[in-house]
Amino acid sequence: MATTQQHIEAYWMPFTANRDFKKKPRIITGAAGHYYTTADGRKVYDSFSGLWTSGLGHCHPKIVAAVQAQVARLDYCMGFQAGSDVAFRLADKLVAMAPAGMGHCFFTNSGSESVDSALKMALAYHRVRGDANRTRLIGRERGYHGVNFGGLSVGGIAGNRKMFSASMIPGVDHIRHTYDLKHSSFVRGQPTWGAHLAEDLERLVALHDASNIAACIVEPVAGSTGILPPPAGYLERLREICTRHGILLIFDEVITAFGRIGEAFGAQRLGVTPDIITTAKGLTNGVIPMGAVIVRDEIHDAFMQGPEHAIELFHGYTYSGHPVAAAAGLAALEIYPEEGIFEQARSLEGRFEQALHSFAGHKHVIDVRNFGLMGAIEMAPRDGAPGQRGMETHKTCFWDEDLVVRHGMDTLQFSPFLNSRPEDIDMTFEKVRRVLDRID
Ligand code: PLP
């Protein structure tokens, strides 16, 4: 059915310029593989794999079949004091892919819920061990950890925070972000400058005393802020400081897990193991909302005390471990190795990096950054109209080049399908170049 103007008004869209969008809506009605179908009958190429979600392509037949079979077999069952067979199978499979020693996971329905669950687990962990003073949480400037109050509070993107400034959770500090235009612009992969910025955590330890700090959360590669790869040695130092002071290190891998940087988890690619990992997105290839928090065994085991009939952690969602989502997750986690997806993603990295960095020197471009299959082209803002050039690029790509490109303000972000062909990468950036050459 065609979407008429009357159908457009009711939906208050997330993270969208609603009034602008509704003047000329970009409506998607279908998807297959690497393409969307639009309401006006065009096939448009998706250069962002959904919203970092769908690395295997849209409507993967194995996931579609798994979801269809599951919804007819067990559509829902309560997850409190009961659980579906598929949720247990998914948990096994997920922890088998995780770094050694992280043998337990908790299911959520989104990245935001994974983050808030992880923060609560960190606080509760210290408390059950009798270390209840450890209540402070440390985030990082420019971090994105979703939109719920915990994630928002440890997050570091001003635009997301400013309306809620007075209502953030208490006891949160931020370490400095790792980006410096002078030292790390147009760097390919991890900058060599900046490992010392991890020492900023020591500043907060000196201020508050480690005995009051519960956890530090970072994205291994910051995504939504516009792709900031960690400086070489930075995460190692952060790990070392956290270990020395008994602070839990949380990696928010909502984007970086499941092949986006060439391994099951960013922790594995970057060689640093945190205490807690948060995930969502690629867990089900975006097909059904689901997230997971994966924890080190000691964290889980610390809760397993007291009377056996008592609930150990008063936390959970009606849809934690939802059977249909779990079926989608199981299928996705099977496809990653069956189709050699992580290897394919890694094999594309060179081509992707080359294509991105060919924009260095373009009239609008002030920086290019990349790691794994995450990439950003940062454009200078127009005078007095920050974000407008990015928006115009997005819209021109959609209407004139049949290409979906994501932008955050004036930074174009790219997240190609993990199973792209090299020519898909070339085609994407040829289209982007035509648009950037044309707009002011
Ligand atoms: N954490 C990170 C690192 C993210 O990139 C995102 C979303 O992009 C989230 C958390 C929030 O996930 P969701 O939108 O599923 O709540």
Query: Has residue 5 got a pLDDT over 70?
Result: no
CATH of the domain at 406: 3.90.1150.10
Which whole number is the average pLDDT over 258-284? 98
Q: Are residues 211 and 133 in the same domain?
A: yes
Which whole number is the average pLDDT over 310-335? 98
CA of 54 from ligand 1 middle (Å) equals 14
- What local confidence, expressed as pLDDT, does residue 110 receive? 98
* 189's tokens: 């992969």
Q: pLDDT tens, 66-115?
A: 999 999 999 999 999 999 999 999 999 999 999 999 999 999 999 999 99
CB contact at 8 A, 105 and 94: yes
Q: Are residues 383 and 415 in the same domain?
A: yes
CA of 115 from ligand 1 middle (Å) equals 8
Atom of ligand 1 nearest to the CA of 278: 1
Domain boundary (338, 362, 377) is at 338
Report the mean per-residue pLDDT for the chain: 97
Q: Among 112, 114, 371, 406, name the best residue to mutate to test ligand 1's pocket (greatest count of ligand atoms within 8 A of Cβ).
A: 112
Domain boundary (294, 310, 338) is at 338
Atom of ligand 1 nearest to the CA of 146: 11
Q: pLDDT tens, 30-67?
A: 999 999 999 999 999 999 999 999 999 999 999 999 99
For helices 234-245 and 200-208, angle between their N-to-C axes, nearest 10 degrees = 20
Query: Has residue 6 got a pLDDT over 80?
Result: no
- What local confidence, expressed as pLDDT, does residue 7 receive? 82
CA of 6 from ligand 1 middle (Å) equals 31
Q: Are residues 134 and 271 in the same domain?
A: yes
Number of domains in the chain: 2
Q: Are residues 298 and 389 in the same domain?
A: no
Q: Are residues 107 and 22 in the same domain?
A: no
CB contact at 8 A, 355 and 341: no
Q: Are residues 294 and 373 in the same domain?
A: no
Binding-site residues, ligand 1, Cβ < 6 A? 110-112, 115, 144-146, 219, 223-224, 252, 254-255, 280
- What local confidence, expressed as pLDDT, does residue 184 receive? 85
To the question of pTM greater than 0.75 for the whole model, the response is yes
Query: Has residue 4 got a pLDDT over 70?
Result: no
Rounded CA separation 293/280 (Å): 9
Instruction: Name the residue range of residue 385's domain.
Output: 5-56+342-438
DSSP assignment string, 364-404:
TEEEEEEETTEEEEEEPPBTTBTTHHHHHHHHHHHHHS-EE
Query: Has residue 24 got a pLDDT over 70?
Result: yes
Q: Are residues 306 and 265 in the same domain?
A: yes
CA of 154 from ligand 1 middle (Å) equals 13
Binning pLDDT at 50, 70 and 90, where does residue 11 land?
Answer: very high
Atom of ligand 1 nearest to the CA of 222: 3
- What local confidence, expressed as pLDDT, does residue 181 receive? 86
Q: Are residues 202 and 145 in the same domain?
A: yes
Domain boundary (316, 338, 360) is at 338
Q: pLDDT tens, 148-159?
A: 999 999 999 999
Q: Are residues 305 and 237 in the same domain?
A: yes
CATH of the domain at 278: 3.40.640.10
Q: Are residues 317 and 427 in the same domain?
A: no
Q: Are residues 430 and 308 in the same domain?
A: no
Binning pLDDT at 50, 70 and 90, where does residue 399 land?
Answer: very high
